[in-house]
Amino acid sequence: MPMRSEPVTVNVGPQHPSTHGVFRLRITFDGEVILDAEPVFGYLHRGSEKLAEERTYTQVITLTDRLDYVASMTNNQAYVLACEKLAGVQPPERGMYLRVIAAELQRIASHLMATGFLLNDLGAFATPLMYCFRERERILDLFEMLCGARITLSYMRVGGVFQDAPEEFWPALRIFLGEMPHYIDEYERLLSENEILVTRTKGVSVLTVDQALNGSVTGPVLRATGFPWDLRKVDPYEVYGRVKFDVPLGRAGDNYDRFKIRIDEMRQSLRIVEQCVEQIEPGPVRADVPALVRPPVGDAYSRIEGPKGELGFYLVSDGSVAPYRFKIRSPSFINLTVLRDMLIGWKLADMIVTLGSIDINMGEVDR
């Protein structure tokens, strides 16, 4: 005799540790099976876009640090590129190479956190996450050499970077580049064929190419479906047109592919940094830009391939020292739009893992 059940709506978050920040999900269950899911934002809203309209173009850089606060360098990069496009500024060669080196190190650090916390959501509480923190600390040591900070970095400037890399940065970077491939191999041996990880992620929460494109999804979540879209390839910026690297792709678009692509992308980031170290030449690191940048009247949109996907900034200038309008295209927010499609039919435990596989940061969702 079948049991009669009624749908039950449950709030998960915003205080739940596995909601990756102050994020709330209203989920309707039949037993443990998800019938419907509604993301609820707004618990971390800080009004960054309006705050930026009251600050000078240089002062806004500190606000970009606090969007995706585990990927501050790439936030800086996307914003200063938009400013340079608006103001018609061309950074020097060495400045662009330093930006790309910093951005790719930041991509590795961000993917380490995505991997560690995904495994934490799967139930591996300490070991994988601590391994990922261990390597991330080495990247933060390099960032500290560059700019004196480890999290909210504010390293990049309109026209280049804050300062050149000190002498001790380069040998430390070479040591990291020599040792990091071993650690990535270690992650793969530990994780990729782990029975629990494979069972809990393969074939779970599949996202199709059409669903991803219709939702404007980008980054590893899109490439996990097999769609080859990476702005560093299709619309190169900085010096990405001068380096060789591959774009890792998935097949199934499931939680496992989203995990595996980030592992593979870390290897490609190391390749990019190695080539930049070989190609970089002595010279200035910043163009001669006034302390108060005053772009002509107009607007500009610039985008980069951030660790989580397409990160774009739209700026409108009225000729003053502050943006007249400031708008952020944040990948964490856009990628969440397909979460409902990914969850329906799965269970509560799968929901936690799927949310982790998207790799969101609420700082740029509730911007």
Cα–Cα–Cα angle for 281, 286, 289, nearest 5°?
Answer: 155
Burial class (CB in 10 A: 0-12, 13-18, 19+), 348: middle
* Cβ neighbours for 36, distance < 8 A, ≥ 6 positions apart: 27, 28, 340, 344
What b/e string do you get for 286-303 counting C-beta neighbours within 10 Å, with b at 16 or more? beebeeebebeeebbebb
CATH code for the domain in which residue 304 is found: 1.10.645.10
Query: For the chain, how many structural domains are there in total?
Result: 1
Q: Is 80 exposed, middle or buried (0-12, 13-18, 19+ CB in 10 A)?
A: buried
Confirm whether 316 is domain-assigned.
Answer: yes
- Please provide residue 255's backbone torsions phi and psi, each rounded to the nearest 5 degrees: -60, -35
Is residue 294 within 8 A of residue 321, CB to CB? The reply is yes
Question: What pLDDT is stored for residue 123 in this prediction?
Answer: 84
Neighbour-count burial of 327, counting CB atoms closer than 10 A to its CB (0-12 exposed, 13-18 middle, 19+ buried): middle
CB 262 within 8 A of CB 115: yes
Give Cα 169 to chain centroid, integer Å: 24
Helices assigned H by DSSP within the chain: 48-52, 61-65, 72-87, 93-122, 127-147, 169-191, 195-201, 209-214, 220-223, 231-234, 255-279, 331-335, 339-343, 348-358, 362-365
Indicate whether 29 belongs to any domain: no
- According to DSSP, residue 2 is labeled P
- Could you tell me if residue 25 is inside a domain? no
CA 99/CA 285 separation, integer angstroms: 10
- Tell me the average confidence (pLDDT) per consecutive run of 10 residues in the chain, 367 residues long: 79 77 90 92 89 96 93 96 97 97 98 93 84 95 96 95 96 97 92 90 95 96 97 96 96 95 97 98 95 95 97 97 97 94 94 93 90
User: Is residue 181 situated within a structural domain?
Assistant: yes
The answer to whether position 35 is within a domain reads: no
What is the pLDDT, as a whole number, of residue 2? 67
**349 found inside a domain:** yes
Q: Do the domain assignments include residue 319?
A: yes
Q: What DSSP character marks residue 251?
A: S
pLDDT in tens, 83-102: 999 999 999 999 999 999 99
- Amino acid occupying residue 134: R
The C-alpha atoms of residue 93 and residue 360 are separated, in whole angstroms, by: 33
Does residue 218 sit in helix, strand or coil? coil
Of residues 279, 311, 366, the one with CA closest to residue 110? 311
Per the domain annotation, does 26 fall within a domain? Answer: no
156: how many CB neighbours lie within 10 A of its CB? Answer: 30
Range of 160's domain?
58-356
Q: Is the peptide bond before 7 cis (omega within 30 degrees of 0)?
A: no
